[in-house]
Amino acid sequence: MGAALHQLMTLLGYDKYGVVGTDLGWIVGHFMAAQEPDNVIGYFSDFWLIQPNATDLERRAQNQTTEEETLYIDSIQDFITNHSNHLELHSQVPLAIGQVFSDTPVGFAGWVWHLVHWFNDGYEYTIDTLITNTLLLWIPGTFGNIRAYRELIPVRISHYVNHMLPAP
C-alpha cells in the first residue's frame, strides 16, 4: 500500500510530501517513512499505541502509578478490550463483513456512527459529516477497505515491530 501511494505521489509530480495516517494508515505511514526517507518529509499519526508492560500493570494494580500513567494505562486497556473486537472481525472474515457492509449505506452508516462515537471523546459530528465519511468509504466498496486488515494483521505488524521500529 505504501509503495502504491508513493508511486501515486510521484505520478502526481510530488518528489517530497508528508504522510498522515491513522488506524491501518499508521502502519502504511511508518512503512512509507522508512522505505522512502528521501521523499517523505514528515509523518503524523494520532494512532501511536504503546501497550503497558507487565511492570506497568503491576504498578497500576498496586496504585503506584502517577495520575497520568493511570489514565494512560486505563485508556489503553479500554482501547485494547473494546477496539480489538472489530479488528478481529475485519481480519478474520473480511469477505463476510464486507458483504454485510456493502448491502446498504444506511447499515454501514450505523457501523461508522458507532466507531466515530466510540473514538470521539465527546466531539459531536454533524449528520452531514457522518454521511460524507460513510459514503467516502462505501462508494468505492467496503470489502477492499476491510481486506486490508487481513493483509496487514498480524504478520505485517509483528514484522514492523520486530524489524523496523527503533529499539526502545
pLDDT in tens, 3-18: 999 999 999 999 999 9
Tell me what pLDDT residue 84 has.
67
pTM here is 0.60
**In one letter, which amino acid is 46?**
D
Please report, rounded to a whole number, the percentage of residues in the chain having pLDDT higher than 90.
33
Domain segments of the chain as ranges: 1-48, 51-83, 93-153
Residue with the bigger pLDDT between 167 and 137: it is 137
How far is 160 from 99, CA to CA, in rounded Å?
30
Tell me what pLDDT residue 69 has.
95
Please report, rounded to a whole number, the percentage of residues in the chain having pLDDT higher than 70.
88
How far is 45 from 39, CA to CA, in rounded Å?
17
pLDDT in tens, 67-108: 999 999 998 888 777 776 777 777 777 777 878 888 888 888
The angle that helices 67-92 and 142-152 make with each other, rounded to 10 degrees, is 110
